[in-house]
Structure 1
Amino acid sequence: FVHKKCTVEKEGDTFVSGNREDGVNYGGRKDHTRNVQYLQLTADEKPIFVHNFHGMWSAEGKIDTERRIQQSKNLASHLHKHDGPQIVCGDFNMRPDTKSMEIIESTGFRNLVTEFDVTDTRTSFYDKDERFADYILASSGITVNDFQVLPDEVSDHAPLLLDFSIS
């Protein structure tokens, strides 16, 4: 949903693992193509990009794999193509202490999950030990007024709340 005070200037997606021609075909594989979706918005006459990313799942867990590292490099390349304030959020399916996350953070984005000392982005519906999946990262030009992991349980992912302004 886009607030009525915002104007959508552009929308699109970029594949960061696989490509459009691969389709969403499991074909015996445990994963499929992944893309990052984005909106270019104008809010209060200020531009902002909002990116949504759902990272690949791996039977090996949320650790670094060759494919996950390449996916992060591709995401970083996508983020570098856009100027101005940006937010990237979603289920990254990776641990905060991985090279994969370090690659994304090297774009200059602040990882709000680590900055705010979040220890869990999952709910009681998720019974595995790994407690990280979801993130919000903010570029320069974004002033973070508040960031929280909300207690509401509607799925195995806890909702993340970001209150921000464009500086």
Structure 2
Amino acid sequence: MRLLCLNAWGGVLHEALMPWIAGVGADVLCLQEVVHTPGAGKDWLEYRDGAHVLPQRARMLDELRAVLPGHAVLFSPAGSGLLWEGDQAVPSHFGLACFVRETIPVIGQATGFVHGAYSDHDYGAHPRPRNAMVLRLWAEGRPWVVAQMHGLRDKAAGKADTPERAAQAERFAALIDGLAEPGDAVVACGDFNVRPDSQTLRRLERLGLSDLVTGGGFAGTRTARYTKPDRFADYLMVNAQVPVRRFEVIRAPEVSDHCPLWLEA
């Protein structure tokens, strides 16, 4: 089983991201910050949040489908809001995508909001709604549970623990626990948006999971595109049933402001 976890940053580094992701050879890809704008007439639109303006790849989900033709895709938007083409507002969706090689059966799944609730007209006030996706797969002759979450962004608290993050961790853990059965290999990953000493990791440890990022001595999960001091955001946790053969925080090429996390098991 080869698994990739990545916050894809809305496709900002599209020219580097697409050929790399097409050739990486992952069986399962857990992607956060995926844009889906059905019927978009332009390749690029703008995300605007006050002074924060970011280009977004309008048909990112469709382009990922095109470069991963042997994979089935599940897309779960955390919200639907507006991107912009000049003065024209364009409705768009933003959330999680999981690509699973078609030879791997999906034998169970659960999705749900870990913070807030879905809105169909705007992305909402910060901290915005966040969701999680959990799949039960049959691979390597056994069941696997693969879970991903994009943790909430809190402008005031940064990546520090908050009551909202504690509640988010409980909901994520409940989704995993509700789908996993005794003896399953379990992987939980994503841009959790927390520090290594956070309550979120401690809560997932109570499910029998251990983190390969901090446990492997890696110095962080952010690329040079990210200029703030907190260098950790992304984590990949496994239980004892996962036979880890290789784990890597990939530094090059840079395909996002987050480093891809790569697991071979």
Runs of 4+ in structure 1 over 4 Å off: none
Provide the C-alpha distance between the structure 2 equivalents of 1:95 and 1:156, rounded to a whole number of angstroms: 17
Would the aligned equivalents of 2:134 and 2:176 in 1 still touch at CA under 8 Å? no
Aligned counterparts of 1:61 and 1:78: Cα–Cα separation in 2? 25
The answer to whether the 8 Å contact 2:110/2:175 transfers is: no
Matches within 5 A, 1:96-111: 96-111=196-211
1:61 aligns with 2:158: yes
Which runs of structure 2 are paired with 1:5-154 in the superposition (5 Å)?
5-20=103-118, 22=119, 25-27=122-124, 29-59=125-155, 60-81=157-178, 82-83=180-181, 84-151=184-251, 152-154=253-255
Give distance in 1, aligned partners of 2:158 and 2:172.
20
Quote how far apart the aligned CAs of 1:133 are.
0.6
Offset, 1:124 = 0.3
Distance in 2, Cα, partners of 1:17 & 1:63: 16
Ranges in structure 1 where 5+ consecutive residues have no aligned partner: none
- For the residues of structure 1 that align with 2:127 and 2:218, how far apart are their CA atoms? 28
Over residues 76-116 of structure 1, what are the superposed CA-to-partner deviations in whole Å (9 max), with x where a residue is unaligned?
Answer: 22222221111111100000112232112221101111110
Query: Quick one: distance in 2 between partners of 1:2 and 1:73?
Result: 26
Structure 1: how far apart are the matches of 2:255 and 2:146?
23
- Output the TM-score relative to the length of structure 2: 0.58
Task: Look up the SS of the partner of 1:100 in the other structure.
Answer: helix
* Residue of structure 2 equivalent to 1:3: 101
Identity of aligned residues (%): 36
Unpaired runs of 5+ residues, structure 2, are 1-98
The structural deviation recorded for 1:19 is 3.4
In the TM superposition, residue 3 of structure 1 has moved relative to its aligned partner by: 2.4
Structure with the higher fraction of residues in strand conformation: 2
CA contact under 8 A between 2:115 and 2:129: conserved in structure 1? yes
One-letter amino acid matched to 1:42: W
- Between the aligned partners of 1:47 and 1:71, the Cα distance in structure 2 is 26
CA RMSD of aligned residues (A): 1.7
Kept in 1: contact 2:134–2:175 (CA 8 A): no
Q: Which amino acid aligns with 1:119?
A: A
Amino acid at match of 2:145: F
The structure with the largest alpha-carbon Rg is 2
Q: CA deviation at 1:23?
A: 5.3
The 1-side partners of 2:233 and 2:120 are apart by 24
Provide the aligned length of Structure 1 versus Structure 2. Answer: 162
Instruction: Report if aligned partners of 1:24, 1:33 keep a CA contact under 8 Å in 2.
Output: no
